[in-house]
Amino acid sequence: RAEATAKLKDLAATRTELGSKKKEVQGKLAEARQLLNTLTAQEKQQLAAAEQTRATRGTERVSMGKITPGSGHAGAAFSAAQSKIGSPYDYGHNGPSTFDCSGLTSWAYAQANVSIPRTSEAQANIGQRIYSQNQLQVGDLVFFYGDLHHVGLYAGKGMVLHAPHSGAFVRYESMGNMPYQFGVRV
């Protein structure tokens, strides 16, 4: 009974926290919509064209040359993720045909028989942290943005293999395009 009571309290706390985060996200969405409504028709067309260019950039398979995997599991995870290049981004999905960023990484590691948490924030708390980009190995998890809301797999040569955002596809991209925080070796 005591264990059940403790779990109910944890659940209530989690529910409260999720409600707070939902309100925060809804507020940001409302601000974005309000800002979007201030744009002229020409500005909206330019924005749509720029987004279409970003969404389709890098959907083709990029030759990265010879890639030496960092470890057996990391190499297997990276190979699995490579097989999904061109798959569409879909928030909350972890394959096998659509992915969000952490869905791709958790799916890829599952193909290597390694279970990792589902969210980028939880994935940031496993394994060995690597702060220097020059110490990263192919297949290491790499995290971006201060709140760690984005994760991908290090591809070597300063590149990340990831599922970037809505409207985009799994692709390679320069790590310099996002604020790198650290890597994790699983």
Q: Which residues of 19-44 are buried (b: 16+ CB within 10 A; e: fewer)?
A: eeeeeeeeeeeeeeeeeeeeeeeeee
Residue 150 is among the residues annotated as catalytic for this protein: yes
165 counts as catalytic: no
- From first to last of its 186 residues, what are the pLDDT tens digits of the chain? 999 998 899 889 889 988 888 999 899 888 888 888 888 888 888 877 777 666 555 544 455 555 555 568 999 999 999 999 999 999 999 999 999 999 999 999 999 999 999 999 999 999 999 999 999 999 999 999 999 999 999 999 999 999 999 889 999 999 999 999 999 999
Q: Say which of 73, 101, 149, 165 is annotated catalytic.
A: 101
Does the annotation mark 162 as catalytic? Answer: yes
pLDDT of residue 149: 94
Q: How many CB atoms lie within 10 A of CB 109?
A: 26
Q: Which residues contact 140 (CB under 8 A, 6 or more apart)?
A: 70, 74, 130, 153, 154, 183, 184, 185, 186
Catalytic residue among 73, 93, 162, 165: 162
Task: Tally the C-alpha atoms within 13 A of residue 186's C-alpha that lie toward its C-beta.
Answer: 30
Q: Which pLDDT belongs to residue 111?
A: 96
**Per-residue confidence (pLDDT) for residue 170, from 0 to 100:** 95
Tokens read off for 58: 């890098």
Q: What is the pLDDT of residue 131?
A: 96
At residue 65, the pLDDT reads 57
Predicted pLDDT of residue 35: 84
Give the sheet arrangement for strand 150-156, strand by strand. 128-130, 180-185, 141-144, 150-156, 159-162, 171-174
pLDDT at 61: 45
Q: Which of 73, 93, 149, 150 is catalytic?
A: 150
CATH number, domain 60-185: 3.90.1720.10
Domain boundaries, the chain: 2-53, 60-185
* This model's pTM is above 0.85: no
State residue 142's pLDDT score.
98
